[in-house]
Structure 1
Amino acid sequence: MTQTNPDLSEFDLSGKTALITGASSGFGAHFARVLASAGAKVAVGARREERLQALVSEIQAAGGEALAVALDVTDATSVAKAFDTAEARFGTVTVLVNNAGVAAPKSVHKTSETDWDFVIDTNLRGAWLVASEAARRMIAANSGGAIVNIASVLGLATSTGHGVYSASKAGVIQLTKHMALELSSKNIRVNAICPGYFKTEMNDAYFESEAGKAYISTFPAKRLGEMQEMNGPLLLLASDAGSFINGAILPVDGGHLVMSI
C-alpha cells in the first residue's frame, strides 16, 4: 500500500557527513547550521579559517558535530586535502553544498581579464573541482550522495553590471544538469538552488542604499529573502526526502523571475 502520511524523518541527516564550501559567512555559514541541526556531521570549508573556528564552536555548543577545514576551491590540492581531513574525522562526505562564490560587478566593457578569471575560477571552475572530487569519493565508497550547487537567479536571467557573475552561475546550472545525468547511475543526485536577492555580505551595502531600497520596491514580494527561507529547499535536496529529485534547478526568489515585463 502506498504510504500517504508524510514521514518527516526523511529530512533527518543523522549519520551523514556534509561539506559546505564558502562557509565562513552568509549562506555558507547558515547552511552549516541548518545541516548540523538536522543531524549531519559538518565540515565547514573556506579560506578564512579564523571565522570558521567561531562557527564550529557555535555548532558544537548547540550539540552538533563540526570541523573546520582550510579550503581554496580554486586549488585542486586544497580541495583534495579538505576532503581527506573531513573523511578522517567523519567518514565519506555524502552531502556536498557547493556554495563558495565571488562577484566583480562591472559593465562588461569595463571587465578585465583579471575580473573574469577571479569570478569564473571560483564560481564555476571551483564548483567543478569540488563536485568532481566529491563524486569520485562517493563512487569509491559506493555510498551514493547528494550534491547541492548554489547557483543564482542571475544564472537564469541577468542584470546590468553582472555579466561575468551571470555567466559563471549559468555555467553552474548547466554543470549541475550534466553531472546529474552522468552520476544518477551511481545513486548520486545533483541539484542546484538559485537564490534570489537575500541580504548577505556581498550585497548588504547596496540594499541599504536608497537605490537598493528603490530596487527592492520593484520586487513581487517587496522584500529581500530571509535566510531561514532557504532551509526547506536545502534540506529537501540534501536529504532522502528528495530522493527522486535529480537535475532540478530550484529558484528561491520570491517570484522575482516571474515579474511582469
Structure 2
Amino acid sequence: MMDVCVLGPMEICSSGRADRVCLAPKPRTVLALLCGHPGQMISVACLVREVWGEEPPASSLRNMHTYVLQVRKLLACLCGVSTRAVSQELLVTHPGGYSLSEAALGFDHRTFTELTGAGRGRLRDGELLAGIGDLLQALRIWRGPAFADVVTGPVLEAQRRQLHDARIGAMEALSEARISAGQFHEVISDLSSFVAENPLHEGLHFHYMRALALSGGRARALEVFSRLRLNLVSELGIEPGASMQQLQRCILNSTDPAMASGL
C-alpha cells in the first residue's frame, strides 16, 4: 500500500521509499485537502475556497480541473499505473467534487490517531509499558509541523491546529506515563524541544518541571517555572494556573513533586 504523509513536509511513501510531493503550491493544496479527509467527497466549491479564498478568479473551475489532473499524474507516476486507473481507483470524481480512496492508500495522520487511541486505552487498562510504546510509536511518525510545505486555507488550517493539539496531548500522556514508570530522564529529553516550541503551554511545562525535580534538577525546574511565568505575563497578561503554582511550591518546599495535582 502507498502511504500519503502530511505530518511534516508532504511525502508519498511506497516500498520503503519516500518521495517528496513535486507539485506547485495550488495543486499541492488540493492534494493536501483530499489527504486530510480520505474517503470523503470534497466539493469543488470547498476546494476553490481553500485555494483562492472568497474571491476566486473566473477561471477557477477550469484551473481546478487542471490541478486535479496534475495530482492524478503524480499519483500515477509514483504508483506505476495509468492516469485512468488513478481516476477510477484513487482520486475519484463525484458529482460536484472529488475523493481520495481510503482503501487503496494509507495516511500517516490516521495511523497517528489510531496509535494514540490504542496507547491511551492501554494506559487506562494499566498496561503502562505497552501504552508508552504505542505513544512513542505514534509521536515518531511526525517529521515536522503538519502540512509543513502546504499553503493552507481555512479548512486545512483548522485541521493543522487540531493535529498540533493532538500531538501535544499525546506527548502529555506519554510524559505522565513515563514519570509513573520512573523514566524521568527520557521525559526531560522528550520535552526539552516541545517546551521551547510551545512557550505558553502549561501542561508541557508541568510535566517537564516534575521530571526535572524528580531527577534531582530542582533549580532547573524552578527556572522553567520562572520562564513560563514571564512568557505568560508578558504575552497574555496572566499568571500560571493553580496546578503550576502548587508544583512550584512543592519544589520550593522540597515536597515530593509527584504529589502535585496534574493539569
Q: TM-score range by the shorter chain?
A: under 0.3
Return the structure number with greater strand share. 1
Return the structure number with greater helix share. 2
TM-score (structure 2 length as normaliser) = 0.27
- Choose 1 or 2 for highest CA Rg: 2
TM-score (structure 1 length as normaliser) = 0.28
